[in-house]
Structure 1
Amino acid sequence: GISPRERLTNATDVTRLFSRDKPYQCSQCYQALLHNNSLLENMMAHTGEIPYHCSQCDRAFSRNSNFTRHLDTHTRDKPYQCSQYDKAFSQNSFLVKLHQQM
């Protein structure tokens, strides 16, 4: 279950989200952010730091959310099959992008 502290954090996050209260601001681009960890990731993008490296390919990411989404490409089912190439994709948008590049 969710602990009372997690419930409070979640409630605070929801309140901030709807009230547009984003207390963390980047000193480089002035973007306002909801969480401190979002600010840290934003700062890494400015400094060029890329801490998230995929062990299955040569891709690297500055944001954990992008890295996590990328990892899914290695583990997910790939139901979107290309009829012209021997390729399959986990998301239809990847298949569409391939066809747009042709």
Structure 2
Amino acid sequence: FAQKHNLLIHRHVHTGEKPFLCSHCGHRFRQKYHLVSHQRIHTGERPFVCVSCPKAFRRKTALTVHQRVHTGERPFACNSCPK
């Protein structure tokens, strides 16, 4: 691992440790990022807003996928047919 922090996070995979606790429902997470993203379910926060329409999302990855609706980008193609 290039950074000690990444090694410490990875070790949770082997120990089963989930040190980050949701104060709303008690669900536990290995990484703080996953806790923060999860807590948005309880708060309703949707910080990732589409610039082309009023839709907003809890996760940046969901916004990225949504933006393809506007751009027409289709990055995955079938090897067996033209689709």
**TM-score, structure 2 as length reference:** 0.66
Q: Distance in 2 between matches of 1:67 and 1:24?
A: 25
Gap change, CA 1:20 and 1:49, over 3 Å in 2: same
Residue 45 of structure 1 is matched in structure 2 by 41
Report which structure shows greater RCO (CA 8 Å, sep ≥6).
2
Letter in 1 for 2:31: H
CA distance in 2, matches of 1:77, 1:53: 19
CA deviation profile, 1:42-61 (whole Å, cap 9, x unmatched): 22210111111011233211
Gaps of 5+ in 2: 78-83
User: Where does residue 86 of structure 1 map in the other structure?
Assistant: none
Q: Which residue identity does 1:14 align to in structure 2?
A: H
Number of the residue aligned with 2:61: 65
Q: Of 12, 24, 28, which aligns to 2:8?
A: 12
> Across the two proteins, how many residue pairs are aligned to each other?
76
Query: What displacement does 1:75 show?
Result: 5.5
Q: CA RMSD in A?
A: 2.6
Identity of aligned residues (%): 28
Tell me which structure has the larger Cα radius of gyration: 1
Q: 1:18 and 1:57, CA in 2 relative to 1: closer, same or farther beyond 3 A?
A: farther
